Amino acid sequence: MPSFGDFVHTQFVLKIPKPTASFASKTVIVTGANGGLGKEIVKHIIQLGASKVIFGCRSQARGDTAKRETETLLKVDPGVIEVWEVDLESPTSIRSFVERVNNLPRLDVLINNAGLRSFNFGIVYDTERTLAVNNIGTFLLALQLIPKLKETARKFQTTPHMTIVASALYDAAKYPENPGEDIFSWYKDKSRVAPFPQYNLSKLLQIYTAIKLSAVVDPLDVTELNPIVINSVDPCFCKTGLSGEMTGRPKTFFKIFEFLAARTAEEGARLVVQAASAGREMHGLYLRAGNVQAYAPIAQDEEKAAHVWNVLRQRLEKLQPGILQNLQ
C-alpha cells in the first residue's frame, strides 16, 4: 500500500500535466467509457486527434448518452465516436465485440479500463464477481485483441498499446495462504469475500497477469520489428462511480474521504492516457504518479504469479478455445 507520504503527495501535491502525445490517425478502444475515468480518458484521446474512439460499454444506452455528451462538449466530428456493447461478464458478448474489432482496419490502443468493486456477492465465470470482471472478463477480451494490435503494428509500422488500468491498492492485497488448486474457485465461498480486500486482490492479480503477459508477448529483447507495448497504470484515487454499490454508514464515511482526498476523474485520466502513449521502454512496467514505479515485493512473488497465470490461462482457454495461441 502506498505510504501516507506517498498518498499525500499523489493526491494533493503532484502536478499532473495534461497529456500531449498525438493520437492522430489512431483507432482506440476504451472499455467502461460511459462513466468515471473512462469518460474522461476518451475526451483526452479525442482532443489529441484520434480518428476513431470506440466506447466499449455494457449498456448501449449509457454509452450513447456519454457519446452525445462528449460530441456536444468537444464538437466532435460525426463518425469519430462509436459505442459498442461489451459486457465483461459474458463470453458471448466479448466474442461478438472481438468479431467487430477484427473487421476494423486497425486497432492502435486498447485501454482495459472497465472494472468493478462489487458489494453484492455473486458468482460469474465460476468465481466471485469482482475477480470475474477485473480478471477473467478483462483478459478474456484483452488476449483476443492481441492479434489485431500486432497486425496493426506490422501493417502501419507503428507501436500499438495495451494499457491496464490497475491500482496502487494491489500492494494492500491479502493473498490467501493456501488457495488450493485454483484461486478463482477459492473465492466462490462467500465467507472468504469482503468488498475492499477482494478488489485489492483483483488488482494484484491484474498486475501478475500484466507482468506475465508482457513477458510472453513481445518481451523487450524481442527481435520482431514492430512490437506492441503492454503496461499498467495507477490513476490515483479519483472521484468516480466505483463504489456505487456501497450502502449505509460505510458509504457515508467513504463519501467524506472521497470529498477530502480524491482527485477528479479528469486528472486521473491524464495518467492513463500518458501510459497508453508511453514509449516501448515502458513495456511490462507499472506507472504511478506519472513515473515508472518498481513493483512491490508481493507483485514479484514468482510462486503466486505463476499460480495465477496458470489458472487464468486454463480458464480463458476453456471459455474461448484457442485463445492461448494469441500468446505465441
Ligand X SMILES: NC(=O)c1ccc[n+]([C@@H]2O[C@H](COP(=O)([O-])OP(=O)(O)OC[C@H]3O[C@@H](n4cnc5c(N)ncnc54)[C@H](OP(=O)(O)O)[C@@H]3O)[C@@H](O)[C@H]2O)c1
Contact, 231 vs 163, CB < 8 A? yes
Say how far apart CA 18 and CA 272 lie, in whole Å.
11
Based on the shown chain and the rule CB under 6 A, indicate whether residue 172 belongs to the binding site for ligand X. Answer: no
Nearer to ligand X, 108 or 234 (CB): 234
Based on the shown chain and the rule CB under 6 A, indicate whether residue 163 belongs to the binding site for ligand X. Answer: no
Q: Look-up: residue for cell 510472453?
A: 216
Give the binding range for ligand X (CB under 6 A) out of 1-9, 215-223, 229-237, 317-325: 229-237
Contact, 114 vs 88, CB < 8 A? yes
Based on the shown chain and the rule CB under 6 A, indicate whether residue 316 belongs to the binding site for ligand X. Answer: no
Nearer to ligand X, 58 or 270 (CB): 58
Out of 152, 167, 198, 231, the only residue in the binding site for ligand X (CB under 6 A) is 167
Based on the shown chain and the rule CB under 6 A, indicate whether residue 91 belongs to the binding site for ligand X. Answer: no
- Which of 195, 227, 214, 199 minimizes the C-alpha distance to 142? 214
Residues 13-52 as x/- pattern, contact with ligand X by CB under 6 A: ------------------xx-xxxxx--------------
Give the binding range for ligand X (CB under 6 A) out of 6-14, 114-122, 142-150, 283-291: 114-122
Nearer to ligand X, 47 or 59 (CB): 59
Based on the shown chain and the rule CB under 6 A, indicate whether residue 231 belongs to the binding site for ligand X. Answer: no
Based on the shown chain and the rule CB under 6 A, indicate whether residue 110 belongs to the binding site for ligand X. Answer: no
Grid cell locating 300: 514479484
Query: What minimum distance in Å lies between the beta carbon of 303 and ligand X?
Result: 25
Contact, 235 vs 9, CB < 8 A? no
Based on the shown chain and the rule CB under 6 A, indicate whether residue 114 belongs to the binding site for ligand X. Answer: yes
Based on the shown chain and the rule CB under 6 A, indicate whether residue 284 belongs to the binding site for ligand X. Answer: no
Query: What minimum distance in Å lies between the beta carbon of 160 and ligand X?
Result: 20
Out of 241, 301, 317, 324, the only residue in the binding site for ligand X (CB under 6 A) is 241
The residues of the shown chain that bind ligand X, judged by CB under 6 A, are 31-32, 34-38, 58-59, 62, 86-89, 113-116, 133, 137, 165, 167, 234-235, 237-238, 240-242, 244
